[in-house]
Structure 1
């Protein structure tokens, strides 16, 4: 089976997260750290490849350059679709890098429309009416509003994107998603006809993300957190089948905590 999905993730944590999600969905997945070069190879039998970058908070031009180089490499390996992976908190600034990188990836692919959905329901991240929630709080009311690098003081994904892109931003709401993948595809086509390039999608459950994944199979570029990538993975026809990710049961283990979030501090 040829490589189906290529992911460019904006940090290492997101890269490992999305690789795990794709394996959980049944895709044989390879993980690469840093921008690949011409000598970087993939296993012959992988269904998906994830490249973990460190461009979430770098200058926008650097983030664009690394992301485009990664997309080009994934295409060279046969990837039919690109998933731009970012944090389920939509961590970014008014200058980017999510909207900026998304525009660059779309331009390179000649794509006219894409979906943006950072929902990760098992982690309490949901999107409703285009607003990002952390459990029962709006993102802007949660402890993430105090993030040291990317303080998130606005929960409206449409507002955040409008500040990062010159293109129009639309919404596929939960009522549409509840009607299934065909309804979502029709909504995306309508947005595309109206000149909307970025479409924020609601998602409250993993089932919603599965609907979105099925609806987005033909889009050259899709963006979101690991949840949407898993929805895509479950929609792909593969021969490997869903498989539990193996967890070591014996021996020593180390836990690396890479941020200063309130939840992380409580658990450390």
Structure 2
């Protein structure tokens, strides 16, 4: 897809500019939100920085715009600076809904990626009295019940168990932002939000009128945020109608949550138009037309399973101590040669950080190398730049939230548009760049907890999503 071509999606909605703006606190989550909106028929583009007027004019009319960031790794001061810039940009665009996209597990902490800091910063640009926190994402098996968050764990859909988030085998031991509290109201209060009200799942059964009355009662105390339980898609549709109604009357409105916020919003638009989603059956991902390169900086147990199942790839190990040590330049050059030679010969290559990275950080269940050793994510980004400087590729994959954010930002590109889905919250996008050798490259970004066991094989061989996988 050319860098000057119109963003994907066909839905036409009222208004002069984009009605929906979202900021992803990491790149992998931002691409999932991009997928939800585009599949609902909204013309959507994901940018790496707030777009200027010339860029927007080149793209034509957009229904939704996103900015992929890295706020989940930031300290409060840096996070405030980043999000104040984003909030001002969205306000200038006139968005009706401003969505702060967080991980579906809500992992964050007062000093790292604070959701409380995000809400306090962005609310300055959203005068609407409602700050809606959407607590679950059913298609990823994330559920919020009476304010408490639950999430699935396991590589096999049929063997996944559901855990309260503070007992989740991975997220309760996250090396940077461990989830030690399941009640999201308490979790947000610890991040500076003194008054967090909640709407529990029983309120949805009474219909929109009952739900609005319940919300009116909560808003009387002028809360910092209102948390909404989510157990299934019908709850998201009810929340979406409420958000759309409040945004129309008192815009703009701040919404916080995973891609379920976008799902809720898009379903409300489609309900109002009395039509089905434009792309209810997603376009399948075709087999790659050339060799595929995957860079795995994630240390999650699921990514480890995915690496072991990547039988079609030559594996190249990356020692975290050597790639970040005193002789890193020489080691990096040697690893780049070990990767680019086979790629030129038409072989698929998977480069991955060894478990030694987790041992160094004393976090054997770490979800991302960048969280354990911050410099490792930057080293992976340098490796990716060097590889793409020596060999032209049509499709690549990056595993790890921090690794994805840093690596993609290091490329000379400006945005992403949606191409096709892979299972369990993973999206394949088109890269948009002013450099012809990068423009149109297909790129998969995935967090440590996302994807099937054979995800990297799916990236190579293609994947046709059925109704069950679509979620």
Provide the TM-score with structure 1 as the length reference.
0.91
Among residues 151, 155, 164, which one is paired with 1:138 in the alignment? 164
Question: Structure 1 residue 114: deviation in Å?
Answer: 1.1
Q: Which moved more, 1:242-251 or 1:212-221?
A: 242-251
Residue 242 of structure 1 pairs with residue 291 of structure 2: no
Among residues 43, 56, 63, which one is paired with 1:28 in the alignment? 43
| Paired residue secondary structure (2:197) | strand
Among residues 257, 260, 263, which one is paired with 1:230 in the alignment? 263
Q: How does 1:200-215 map to 2 (within 5 A)?
A: 200-215=227-242
Residue 155 of structure 1 pairs with residue 175 of structure 2: no
Residues 202 and 31 of structure 1: CA distance in aligned 2, closer, same or farther (over 3 Å): same
Which fold has the larger relative contact order, with Cα–Cα distance below 8 Å and residues 6 or more apart in sequence? Answer: 1
Residue 93 of structure 1 pairs with residue 109 of structure 2: yes
Question: Structure 1 residue 106: deviation in Å?
Answer: 1.3
Question: Structure 1 residue 25: deviation in Å?
Answer: 2.1
Q: List gaps (5 residues or longer) in structure 2.
A: 1-12, 153-161, 248-252, 308-471
Residues 115 and 193 of structure 1: CA distance in aligned 2, closer, same or farther (over 3 Å): same
- 2:145 and 2:294 map into 1 onto residues whose CA distance is 33
- 2:76 and 2:55 map into 1 onto residues whose CA distance is 25
| Paired residue secondary structure (2:224) | strand
Question: Structure 1 residue 61: deviation in Å?
Answer: 1.8
Residues 8 and 53 in structure 1, CA contact (< 8 A), matched pair in contact too: yes
Partner residue in 2 for 1:67:
83
Residues 183 and 68 of structure 1: CA distance in aligned 2, closer, same or farther (over 3 Å): farther
Provide the TM-score with structure 2 as the length reference.
0.53
Question: Structure 1 residue 179: deviation in Å?
Answer: 2.5
| Paired residue secondary structure (2:287) | coil
Q: Which moved more, 1:189-198 or 1:6-15?
A: 189-198
- 2:19 and 2:276 map into 1 onto residues whose CA distance is 13
| Paired residue secondary structure (2:72) | coil
Among residues 23, 30, 33, which one is paired with 1:15 in the alignment? 30
Residues 135 and 147 in structure 2, CA contact (< 8 A), matched pair in contact too: no
Among residues 122, 143, 153, which one is paired with 1:105 in the alignment? 122
Residues 78 and 212 of structure 1: CA distance in aligned 2, closer, same or farther (over 3 Å): same
Q: Which moved more, 1:176-185 or 1:5-14?
A: 176-185
Residues 147 and 261 in structure 1, CA contact (< 8 A), matched pair in contact too: no
What is the CA RMSD across the aligned residues, in angstroms? 2.2
Residues 29 and 103 in structure 2, CA contact (< 8 A), matched pair in contact too: yes
| Paired residue secondary structure (1:116) | strand
Residues 107 and 171 in structure 2, CA contact (< 8 A), matched pair in contact too: no
Residues 178 and 97 of structure 1: CA distance in aligned 2, closer, same or farther (over 3 Å): same
Q: Which moved more, 1:71-80 or 1:46-55?
A: 71-80
- 2:294 and 2:283 map into 1 onto residues whose CA distance is 17
Partner residue in 1 for 2:378:
none
Q: List gaps (5 residues or longer) in structure 1.
A: none
Among residues 215, 227, 247, which one is paired with 1:188 in the alignment? 215
- 2:43 and 2:260 map into 1 onto residues whose CA distance is 17
Residues 127 and 146 of structure 1: CA distance in aligned 2, closer, same or farther (over 3 Å): same
